[in-house]
Amino acid sequence: MNKIIIAPSILSSDFANLESEIKKLEKNGADWVHVDVMDGHFVPNLTIGAPVVKALRRVTNIPLDVHLMIENPEKYIKDFALAGSDIITFHYEAAKNNVDYLIGLIRSYGKKVGLSIKPKTKVSEIEKYIKDVDLILIMTVEPGFGGQKFMPDCAEKTSEIKNISKQVIVEVDGGVNIETATYCKKLGVDALVAGNYIFSSDNIKEAIASLR
Ligand code: DX5
Ligand code: ZN
């Protein structure tokens, strides 16, 4: 079995000190950094945009796992690609009939493609796209805020996805802590996003290691 990928979410970090926060993650064993982009429309919260990704890119080589929780992702993919994202994940629910186009657009910039589903979206709705993307991001909370409670039923989508493609990376996002991480790993999840759990700990190195 491959090593689990740990992707701390900077949503819970100190935004006044993003450079030192991201370097701390890199130094303490994070595999990727998860960047939550929210537009106040697709989700009821606003966070950061491509200029912040560009600034982070200047100070780190760690893969930037960019999670677009935005309407009309086609308008912004270019900006996030040129800013230096490594993986660009958009939401199925925001893509309408544009999924194939968005996959091609992200690939045209040489980036890895992720497709995300909200808790109420079934695997059967995205089945035909699973083999065309690099990563499926399963939301285990309603997107919009850090620090919410993990929904175990959502994580169970992992086996359905893996039955369609063994290659695709299954990443789980929302409410991940030491207990829910153990549950996800049993289900065969490949990558874990964790915000609150990591940034509320006194020892980031131990917190990251504890999720492995
Ligand atoms: C929620 C975001 C998550 C969030 C995870 O909309 O997509 O990435 O930051 O935070 P925790 O780990 O605190 O649930
Ligand atoms: Zn996220």
140, 192, 193: which to mutate for ligand 1, most atoms within 8 A of CB? 193
> Does residue 1 surpass a pLDDT of 60?
no
Share of the chain above pLDDT 90, in %: 99
Residues 178/210, Cβ–Cβ less than 8 Å: yes
Segment 27-54 shows an average pLDDT of 98
- What is the mean predicted confidence (pLDDT) over 157-169? 98
Any residues with CB less than 8 A from the CB of 40 and at least 6 apart, and which? 46
CA angle 179/30/65 to nearest 5° reads 95
The full set of domain ranges for the chain reads 5-211
Pocket test residue of 36, 37, 69, 87 for ligand 1, highest count of atoms within 8 A of CB: 36
Taken as a whole, the chain contains a residue count of 212
96: tokens are 């309408």
Q: Are 114 and 87 in contact (CB under 8 A)?
A: yes
pLDDT at res. 166: 97
What mean pLDDT comes out for the span 162-191?
98
The most distant pair of C-alpha atoms in the chain lies apart, rounded to whole Å, by: 45
pLDDT at 131: 98
Enumerate the H helices of 70-144 as residue ranges.
77-82, 92-95, 99-108, 123-126
Query: What token pair was written down for 172?
Result: 């789980």
Given a cut of 60, whether residue 195 has pLDDT beyond it is yes
Atom of ligand 1 nearest to the CA of 177: 12
Q: Which two tokens stand for residue 93?
A: 């629910």
Which residues share a beta bridge with 59? none
Q: Which CATH class is domain 5-211?
A: alpha beta
Taking only the tens place, the pLDDT of each residue in 112-144 is 999 999 999 999 999 999 999 999 999 999 999
pTM tops 0.85: yes
Query: What pLDDT does residue 40 have?
Result: 98
Question: 148 pLDDT exceeds 70?
Answer: yes
CA distances from 68 to 48, 49, 152, 183, 208 (A): 10, 9, 23, 26, 23
- From the list 31, 39, 65, 173, the catalytic residue is 173
Please enumerate, as own/partner, the contacts of 113-116 that have beta carbons within 8 Å and a separation of 24 or more. Answer: 113/87, 113/88, 113/89, 114/65, 114/67, 114/87, 114/88, 114/89, 114/90, 114/171, 115/89, 115/90, 115/91, 116/67, 116/89, 116/90, 116/91, 116/92, 116/143, 116/173
31 is catalytic: no
Cα 31 to chain centroid distance, Å, stands at: 12
Q: So what's the pLDDT on residue 2?
A: 67
Predicted pLDDT at 96: 84
**pLDDT of 42 strictly over 90:** yes
pLDDT exceeds 90 at position 52: yes
- Please confirm, yes or no, whether 173 is among the known catalytic residues: yes
Atom of ligand 1 nearest to the CA of 144: 6
- pLDDT higher than 70, residue 43: yes
Q: Are the C-beta atoms of 117 and 141 separated by less than 8 Å?
A: no
Are 186 and 177 spatial neighbours (Cβ–Cβ below 8 Å)? no
- Of 36, 65, 134, 190, which residue is the catalytic one? 36
Residue 180 has pLDDT above 90, yes or no: yes
- Tell me the β-bridge partners of 172: 138, 192
Q: Which percentage of the chain shows pLDDT scores above 70?
A: 99
